Structure 1
Amino acid sequence: MMAREGETYINKMKLISWCFKDYNERVELSKDLFFYVSKITIRNAVYG
């Protein structure tokens, strides 16, 4: 019984860490996108 509970806990932790990994990648992507868009906006404002 205890072994099974431990297994479930480990699987939950794996799932949580996987979700966070995915979330971190999305945050990095949106940061890159934000910088890219603001660079274009600034360029348009300065040279537009």
Structure 2
Amino acid sequence: MSLSKKMLRDIKINKTQFISIFLMAFLGIFAFCGVCGEYYGLEQTSSGFE
């Protein structure tokens, strides 16, 4: 119980740092999914030309 209270208190104190780390992780996952999706689409398109 006290560990979760400490975690919430630390997040509240370091709000901008928490948000920046969250956004960096989100952008990394977003870019990775975009690249994987584009690769899959190009693979499907190129297999149609064969």
Judge same fold: TM > 0.5, yes or no. yes
**How many correspondences in the alignment?**
39
1:12, distance to aligned residue in structure 2 (A)? 1.0
Give the match for residue 19 of structure 1.
22
Larger radius of gyration: 1
Mind listing any 5+ residue stretches in structure 1 that lack a counterpart? 1-6
Normalized against structure 1, the TM-score is what? 0.72
Moved over 4 A (4+): none
- RMSD (Å), alpha carbons: 1.4
1:39, distance to aligned residue in structure 2 (A)? 0.8
Mind listing any 5+ residue stretches in structure 2 that lack a counterpart? 1-11
- Listed one character per residue, the Cα deviations across residues 10-47 of structure 1 (whole Å, up to 9, x for unaligned) are x1110011000000000110111011000110011221
Normalized against structure 2, the TM-score is what? 0.70
Aligned counterparts, 1:7-46, within 5 A: 8=13, 11-46=14-49
